[in-house]
Structure 1
Amino acid sequence: MSQPPVPDGAVWIAGDRIRAVGRWPDLKPARPARVVDLGEVLVLPGLVNAHCHLDYTDLAGCLPPPRSFTDWIKHITRAKDRWTVEDFRRSWLRGAQMLLRSGCTAVADVEAVPELLPGCWNGTPLRVISFLEMTGIRARRDPRQVLAETLAVLERLQHPRCSAGLSPHAPYSTRPELLRMAAQEARRRGLRLTIHVAESEEEFAMFRDAAGPMYDWLLRHERDMQDCGGVSPVQHLHRTSCLGANLLAVHANCLARGDAALLARHNVTVVHCPRSHRYFGHPPFPWQRLLRARVRICVGTDSLASVRGQGRCRPELSLFDELQELQRTQPWLSPIRLLRMVTLEPARALGLQGRIGELVEGAFADLTVLPGAGVRSARQAWEAAAAHEGPVESVFIGGVRVWPTSPRA
């Protein structure tokens, strides 16, 4: 992703890291004892999913079609209330397996059930950054208590491959005090922060106009609405000191004038989830405004609770499926840009540049292998990779083949 495609390429792996990348004839004299010829394939960095909810994988197709975004929130809340921790665990692991077979090697996952960790981390070879979700509105809990409990969980989580961050859920579901304190604590500890923001027109109306279905629903549930009126959701994050280079702002579909510039000024990364966007029928994603402002944009899968299947086929968590949706709706996006939004850009957003998302010396040996028969040029390589559908040929994490679990004959 950081240099042109290499024909007749080779990746030299030492331990769990890449030692060199180049043409096979150039690396051949110094090759190690064991050589694996993958055949006529495309080798690219393992994909990086910038936003996911592995917990909700098994909710695919279980929710009735929503009449509104607020309606969907009610449906998923009721569905989650019926699940046990074991239900969430099965769902999490099934989602992780879907990501693996579709070429993903790292995922920024919002974790609503911290009891699953670190057990689920040990149940997958994926590199997982679990963003511990915080709300507190529904239970009317004190923001200090919510944050203290989350930090206690975070401090117990030590893992050689996985890590954690903080996720105040969204401006509408989180008190301003919790947003402010979480942002301050994330900066102090050097943590990444992820927040759903400006996802729907209902959320936008709630903050700008102090009106609309979401405003009315939360008011009935005794949410303090004094933070609503006169600002956009992005501006609300700004006044609670959440905007910064460590923030992944998920969705950002509904922006007021100046919001894109505000995000750019604070080096915020925006994560777009194309299939979820289509599911809700949100307003067109503000591509041009964000790109003109030079905001980094990544792609995520979101959860399968907000993705429709094709025909009778249940949907899968797949970044390649997200790229297919983008090619259908935004054909002007180049294959290079598409692939960078699921490799290099999310790696940078997560503070993992040089370690994941690109094939460079010193990076983890995380590789995705795609069919490559018939590819004869750099342009064809980019196009074939961006257009891939279905399971991949194989996946390596830390130099170990993890998909399929045994080498194919």
Structure 2
Amino acid sequence: MRDNDAPLLLDVSRLIWRRWTGTRPTGIDRICLAWLDHYAAQAQAVVIHRCGKAILPQSVSQTLFRILQRPERSVKDATQFRRDIVCLALRRGLHLRDHLDGRGRLWLNPGHTGLDAAGIADWCDKRDLRPVHLIHDLIPITHPQFCRDGEQERHRRRMLAALATGCGVVANSAHTLETLAEFAHTENVQVPPAIIAWPGTPHLPIINPQPQERATFVVLGTIEGRKNHRLLLAVWQGLLDAIGTDADPSHLPQLVIVGRRGWQADDIFAMLDNHDFRGLVSEAGPLDDAGLAKVLASARALLFPSLAEGFGIPLTEALAVGVPVIASDLPVFREIGQGVPELLPPTDHAAWTEAILDYAKPASMRRAAQLARINGFQTPNWGDHFAQIDNFLTELGA
């Protein structure tokens, strides 16, 4: 069938779902978009949804890819996306049914979405698919306390499906691959052939830092329990407690929180909504690249006190533009940070307070030392990422 001849199959289920709901792209979404940009020209779309699973014809796939690749800057863009998807489904509805064969081709799945669907392994066999799964993390399994109810079992099914169906696995870090191997051992299953390919780093606009009246620190990411905003709010509350209610806090550093509100963080939301941090803590919400670049440009450091991560794009993003990072001492941060960031135990309130106050000083030696280390940082890039994956796909017989 001429409309079923693309060399590769590319899953876009997550991208459709996220764009449909109008959700601002997260780190995983950016990775899915990068895979779309790289592989769209040589791929057909695979879509997994509540009503079923399907390989789309090449002509329909290319139309869908173009819709997904359009930038989304406003609510109007999200509305237009939904309208275009509905029109595509109405015009080409017959082609959205599950009738095309995979013919032994590689199915690239960069988003986890749909792997917990019933019958996914049988469908791969029926449609003669050879999946290659990108694994981002196993946090719902290793740290279920930070995830929504039921997510642990759903993610367990996803990972079991990835291991059972995959002819190859791409891990976003050595830490993720090690965690996957430990999970496989626990479940008494084998890990398919696997490689490690660090995701590329988003290119932020270069903005010259503007003089600030007081030192500013930034924390970037969805506000959720495992991101450990709780520690930072406790640090800033401690700074206020130390000077007393009558003293002027204008000499103290500020904290800017960038990111949307998520889950498992009701106590944090309550503090942000009801507690008086006397102007030291501000919530900026999600920002586009230009807004984030502006905030980072004037920061003394990015703060990243997370309790669990599979990778950590904010860390590489900040270092790539020359902004120091104070982060949790996690295995993955030791891996991707290349010895550059200042790493601290994520529960050591005193150590974080000391580091923040030190980095706030104009003549901070610790900050100057990290700025010197940044010169040797090798920024993860998409060219290297896809060179590794393309070689891997060739080895798998793409």
TM-score interval w.r.t. the shorter chain?
0.3 to 0.5
- Kindly name which structure, 1 or 2, has the bigger radius of gyration based on alpha carbons: 2
Q: TM-score, normalised by structure 2?
A: 0.32
If each structure's strand is expressed as a fraction of its own residues, which one has the higher value? Answer: 1
If each structure's helix is expressed as a fraction of its own residues, which one has the higher value? Answer: 2
Q: TM-score, normalised by structure 1?
A: 0.32
